[in-house]
Amino acid sequence: MNALGRHLLLELKDCNPEVLNDLEFLRHCLYDTAKVIGATVVNDCFYEFSPHGISGTVIISESHLFIHTWPEYGYAAVDIFTCGDSVKPELAVKPLVERLESKNPSFIELKRGILLNNRIGCVK
């Protein structure tokens, strides 16, 4: 199946709450992840909620990495969307699981922008 992009959705449960509420740690995690998958970082934006929780994105030339954390539940949602064939988003899963100390991780991969005869189409 030929697609414009790959989108990994990570469900990271039973994580270390302390790292989920550490903005600089999470920024470094996403920058390191971009490097591991072979992406080129363009910019980032992170926000720390009160009393806890962080949302952040690292924009890459190939698309983006996002994280949203709920330390009070030990949960992080991570999206990794990449376009092209030069990056390998699947290489991000193991390091993120380890660094966030998730004891109950799962992920799915979606193909985005399915190409049929060089046109975007629908899969039936």
Residue 89 identity (one-letter amino acid): P
Q: Is 83 a catalytic residue?
A: yes
Q: Is 52 a catalytic residue?
A: no
Give the pair of three-digit tokens for residue 55. 């949302």
User: Which residues fall within 8 angstroms of residue 7, CB to CB, at 6 or more apart?
Assistant: 79, 80, 81, 82, 109, 110, 111, 112
Q: What separation in angstroms does the CA of 81 have from each of 25, 56, 62, 75?
A: 21, 14, 8, 20
Which one of 7, 29, 63, 64 is the catalytic residue? 63
Does position 63 have pLDDT exceeding 70, yes or no? yes
Does position 1 have pLDDT exceeding 60, yes or no? no
Q: Number of structural domains, the chain?
A: 1
pLDDT of 86-119, one tens digit each? 999 999 999 999 999 999 999 999 999 887 776 7
Q: Is 15 a catalytic residue?
A: no
Which residue range is the domain that position 82 belongs to? 3-120
Segments of 27-74 assigned E as strands: 41-48, 54-60, 63-70
Q: What is the residue-averaged pLDDT of the chain?
A: 93
CATH of the domain at 100: 3.60.90.10
Which one of 68, 86, 102, 122 is the catalytic residue? 68
Does position 74 have pLDDT exceeding 80, yes or no? yes
Does position 19 have pLDDT exceeding 70, yes or no? yes
